[in-house]
Amino acid sequence: MMNRIALMLGIALLGVSQTTAEDWKATVEIPRLNVSEYHRPYVAIWIQDENRKCVANLAVWYQLTKSGEGEGTKWLPDLRQWWRRSGRSLEMPVDGVSSATRPAGKHELTFDDHKQRFSKLPAGKYSLMVEASREVGGREIVELPFVWPSKTTQKLNAAGKEELGEITFVIPSTK
């Protein structure tokens, strides 16, 4: 109760924080793997709050077409955390969020269309979550914690060990 009041007060005091011209952006590296049978991983990228509640879905990469293994959506629960926190309540595809799987390499993402939503996030602790799951391969999740809002630009980075390479996330400062 106390927390909720504090939170609301926080929001009231902050108003709708103005972000700078800087963008929220991320890079996600899918490692090149030397395996006999390689399939591009399913990847989900989202922001969760301290209670692990998903507050924003940023990207979901999955197989959009039907294959011998059935509909691509069939394997979405393999992104276990994302499925639990968000995916299972969504109707796929999701505009501006879901898209096809991507090849190995570094992928740059900007979140222009989410900016409005980010700016409305209540002050608090959050994490960028990146989860990857690969058919006949492994599954990995990388978490990048951050605080919102912040007077300085936050540049986070972390790296996965198996299914994900380097992850960076830039959170613009607020004025």
Partner 1 sequence: MNRLLLSFVFLLTAIPSTTYAHKVWLLPSQTVFSGPEPWLTVDAAVSNDLFYFNHFPLGLDNLVITAPDGTHVDAENKAKGKYRSVFDLPLTQRGTYRVAVVNDGAFASWEENGKRRRWRGSAAAIESEIPADATNLRITESFGRVETFVTNGAPSLDALQPVGKGIELIPVTHPNDLYSGETATFRFLVNGQPQKDMEIVVIQGGTRYRSSQEEINVTTNEEGEFQVTWDEPGMYWIETSHQDDETKIKNAVGRRMSYAGTFEVLPQ
Applying CB under 8 A, the residues found at the interface with partner 1 are 70-71, 73-77, 80-81, 83-84, 87-89
In the complex, minimum distance from the CB of residue 160 to partner 1, in angstroms, rounded to a whole number: 16
Instruction: For partner 1, give the closer residue by CB, 69 or 113.
Output: 69
In the complex, minimum distance from the CB of residue 21 to partner 1, in angstroms, rounded to a whole number: 38
Instruction: For partner 1, give the closer residue by CB, 123 or 130.
Output: 130
Instruction: For partner 1, give the closer residue by CB, 119 or 127.
Output: 127
In the complex, minimum distance from the CB of residue 89 to partner 1, in angstroms, rounded to a whole number: 4
Give the chain's largest Cα–Cα span: 56
DSSP 104-129: SEEEEEE-GGGHHHHHTSPSEEEEEE
Q: 114 φ, ψ to 5°?
A: -100, -10
Instruction: Output DSSP code: residue 152.
Output: S
Helix (H) or strand (E) holding 8: helix 2-14
